Amino acid sequence: MAEAQATAASAAPAKAAAVKPAAAKPAAGHGDAVNIGPSAAELAMVQAPMTRREFLNYAFLGSLGIFLVVFGGAFFVFALPRFGAGEFGGVFDLGLAGDAIPGTEDAPKASTAARSWVSNTDQGVVALYNVCVHLGCLYGWEPITNRFECPCHGSKYEKDGTYIAGPAPRSLDRFVIRFTDANGTVLAETNAQGDPLEIPSPNALMIVDTGKIIQGKAHG
């Protein structure tokens, strides 16, 4: 086909190629040709000053490019998902602390609406985001081994979400917990480090704020 192409373009180079194939082939359209620089005409064109038409053409092309970029931005904003009120990302009331929170020796409790595991240890309560920090699978509580295990890539976590093993980059993410009394006064709130929270009273209301995710600590 290369030969056919050459024949179509001009007969002479094809014949030359046929006579000395070894020399002609690599050079054909490729970097091996000796660089002799631009001709006088080429040089004159390259160094010529910009005309008004040339400038306008560049400006026109540029404006088309700007349009495409703006259009891409508009598409991006258009395609971004909208989050409605009352969906995940909002505040969830899990009821009285005494009911919502399992004992320190019991298995953690899952809350599907708030997408969290409420887990109680001697240090206090944590609300763990129920998505594995590795690749978004839902890990589960394994009572036999007494830990969380991810079914996809095998990451393992302690009851309080601390990383044990597997490819996950950090410990499990936690939500902010708030305990309030019946009047809505905040009795206790998870600190910025996401440390486990002591239960102030079994009659306090437990609130999980899924809008505030505290990333787990990177592990070693």
Q: Which stretch binds another protein (CB under 8 A): 72-80, 92-100, 176-184, 195-203?
A: 72-80
Spell out, one character per residue from 23 to 62, where the chain touches another protein: x when CB under 8 A holds, - when not: ---x-xxx--------------------------------
Of these, 41, 50, 80, 85, which contacts another protein (CB under 8 A)? Answer: 80
Radius of gyration, CA atoms only, the chain: 34
Nearer to another protein, 175 or 179 (CB): 175
Nearer to another protein, 28 or 45 (CB): 28
- Closest distance between another protein and the C-beta of residue 135, in Å? 4
Nearer to another protein, 29 or 37 (CB): 29
3-state secondary structure the chain: CHHHHHHHHCHHHHHHHHHCHHHHHHHCCCCCCCCCCCCHHHHHHHHCCCCHHHHHHHHHHHHHHHHHHHHHHHHHHHHCCCCCCCCCCCEEEEEEHHHHCCCCCCCCEEECCCCEEEEEECCEEEEEECECCCCCCECEEECCCCEEECCCCCCEECCCCCEEECCCCECCCEEEEEEECCCCCEEEECCCCCCCECCCCCCCEEEEEEEEEECCCECC
Q: Which stretch binds another protein (CB under 8 A): 36-44, 59-67, 73-81, 195-203?
A: 73-81
Nearer to another protein, 189 or 219 (CB): 219
Of these, 68, 88, 98, 181, which contacts another protein (CB under 8 A)? Answer: 88
**Residues found near another protein in the complex (CB under 8 A):** 1-5, 21, 26, 28-30, 76, 79-81, 83, 88-89, 105-107, 112, 134-140, 142-146, 149-154, 167-169, 218-220
